[in-house]
Chain A
Amino acid sequence: MNNKLLSGIGVVALVIAIFYFYWWNINTSSNKNYQDLTKQLKVSHIIHNPDKKLLSFSLVDHNNNKFDNNNFKGKWTLLSFIYTHCPDICPTGLMDMSILKSTLIKRDVNIVPSLVAITFDPARDTPSVLKTYVTHFDKDFLGVSGDQVQINQLIRPFGTYYERVIYAKNGKSTVLKNDEPLPKDALESGYLINHTAWIYLLSPDGQIFAGFPAPHNPIKMADDIELFIKNY
């Protein structure tokens, strides 16, 4: 009787031990490799977090097709958030992404990443506006527009944020947070957008993998991405 009780406790303890061992192993193994990589990285930050998945979203690409979570799956994607009234930062970022793509194609890993640019500013950047704009930088670019609220939700896990700036005739500026509505005449008078300017890498599971802060160096970014893909 006593023996039975003891062996029962033993089995339960063993099961718990095995469970913890696996749990610990799963948790560390998926992060551990990438933690080790961190030391070797030149210009990127690993954002990969198995516990934080992208929320489901549904937007519209520049050919008026649906663009949702599935569009990120099964391939590596380079993504940035832009607006077409941006004269300086966004064109630089889009050009860098195109250079990065052609650099990666020539590397050992030999991948052709998808190039995606999602607008902060769907009120002005309709799908057709985006199509003409982004394909100027690379014919393979896909511009994405859609519902402002969905875009605001989507950018959050990336750590991306923006604010609109309206200049009055007297030179005074008003800053609007992203969820504040635009005044009626803002579309006519124009506004600028202050924003973060990272480029992101999404892995074939459709999740955020890494981020690259500006200013961008496409050659060093390609070095890091090669490392990611070899260790993925």
Chain B
Amino acid sequence: MFNKKKKLILALTTLTILSVSTAMERHHTNHTTTEIVINNPWVRSAPPNAPALGLFMQINNNTDHDIKLLSANASGYKRIELHRSVVQGDMMKMVKQEFMPIPAKGKLHLKPGSWHIMLINPESVPRKGDTVIIDLIFDNGLSKTVHAQVRKGKKMTGNHHRMMH
């Protein structure tokens, strides 16, 4: 009887220590990655034979210096490129970018008609509701793994101020 109680206390203590250390670890991870915070990453759902997909998100830079997004990696694509749609007169231009600049204490909004990550020649086009996992590589040595949900780009009542002037 007494032995059983002792065992139970030991088990409880072990569990407590374990959970505290896990929590500490989690806190630690959170702390180091808040320098760059990614909000609302999403991939626009596309036809099952789409040769290119657009990936969008908001990248927040909480550091005191400008950073650059240098590249994005994910398996299952022939190439992944950084792009920006720009309006020049009547012409919509897709301009390949060497990097994406995220200003110090600022953000860069990747959205339709503007900055976007282009996923080229997918082995299979993800469906609506799927998650695309992608690594972002920044010039300050940090990298971020992003889970982007595939969804339809636009709601009937969405706002349309998404083009740059």
Residues of chain A touching chain B, judged by Cβ–Cβ distance below 8 Å, are 84-89, 91-92, 95-96, 99, 124, 129, 132-137, 159, 161, 165, 167, 171, 173, 190, 192-198, 213-217
Q: Tell whether, in the assembled complex, residue A85 and residue B156 are in contact, meaning their CB atoms are under 8 Å apart.
A: no
Which of the four size classes fits the interface of chain B?
20 to 34
Q: Tell whether, in the assembled complex, residue A92 and residue B94 are in contact, meaning their CB atoms are under 8 Å apart.
A: no
Q: Tell whether, in the assembled complex, residue A165 and residue B94 are in contact, meaning their CB atoms are under 8 Å apart.
A: yes
Q: How far is the CB of B2 from chain A (nearest CB, A)?
A: 69
Max chain B Cβ within 10 angstroms of own Cβ: one of A85, A137, A215: A215
Q: Tell whether, in the assembled complex, residue B52 and residue A86 are in contact, meaning their CB atoms are under 8 Å apart.
A: yes
User: Which residues from chain B contact A214 at a C-beta distance below 8 Å?
Assistant: 87, 92, 113, 163
User: Which residues from chain A contact B154 at a C-beta distance below 8 Å?
Assistant: 92, 95-96, 99
Residues of chain B touching chain A, judged by Cβ–Cβ distance below 8 Å, are 44, 46-54, 83, 85, 87, 90-94, 96, 98, 112-113, 116, 118-120, 152-154, 156, 160-163
Leading 8 A-B pairs by shortest Cβ distance: A136-B47, A87-B52, A215-B163, A87-B54, A194-B93, A133-B47, A132-B49, A85-B51
User: Which residues from chain A contact B96 at a C-beta distance below 8 Å?
Assistant: 167, 171, 173, 192
User: Which residues from chain A contact B113 at a C-beta distance below 8 Å?
Assistant: 88-89, 92, 214-215
| C-alpha gap A88/B50 in the complex (Å) | 12
Q: Tell whether, in the assembled complex, residue B98 and residue A215 are in contact, meaning their CB atoms are under 8 Å apart.
A: no
Name the residue on A nearest B55 (C-beta): A87
Q: Tell whether, in the assembled complex, residue A88 and residue B90 are in contact, meaning their CB atoms are under 8 Å apart.
A: no
Q: Tell whether, in the assembled complex, residue A88 and residue B51 are in contact, meaning their CB atoms are under 8 Å apart.
A: no
**Count of A-B contacts judged by CB separation below 8 Å:** 95
Q: Tell whether, in the assembled complex, residue B160 and residue A215 are in contact, meaning their CB atoms are under 8 Å apart.
A: yes
Q: Tell whether, in the assembled complex, residue B94 and residue A88 are in contact, meaning their CB atoms are under 8 Å apart.
A: yes
Name the residue on B nearest A83 (C-beta): B51
Q: If A89-B113, A92-B112 touch, does A84 touch B50 (CB 8 Å cutoff)? A: yes
Max chain B Cβ within 10 angstroms of own Cβ: one of A135, A137, A192: A192
Contact of B92 among A89, A136, A173, A217 (CB under 8 A): A89
Q: Tell whether, in the assembled complex, residue B90 and residue A213 are in contact, meaning their CB atoms are under 8 Å apart.
A: yes
Q: If A190-B120, A196-B90 touch, does A89 touch B85 (CB 8 Å cutoff)? A: yes
User: Which residues from chain B contact A198 at a C-beta distance below 8 Å?
Assistant: 90
Q: If A91-B54, A95-B153, A132-B49 touch, does A192 touch B163 (CB 8 Å cutoff)? A: no
Max chain A Cβ within 10 angstroms of own Cβ: one of B44, B48, B93: B93
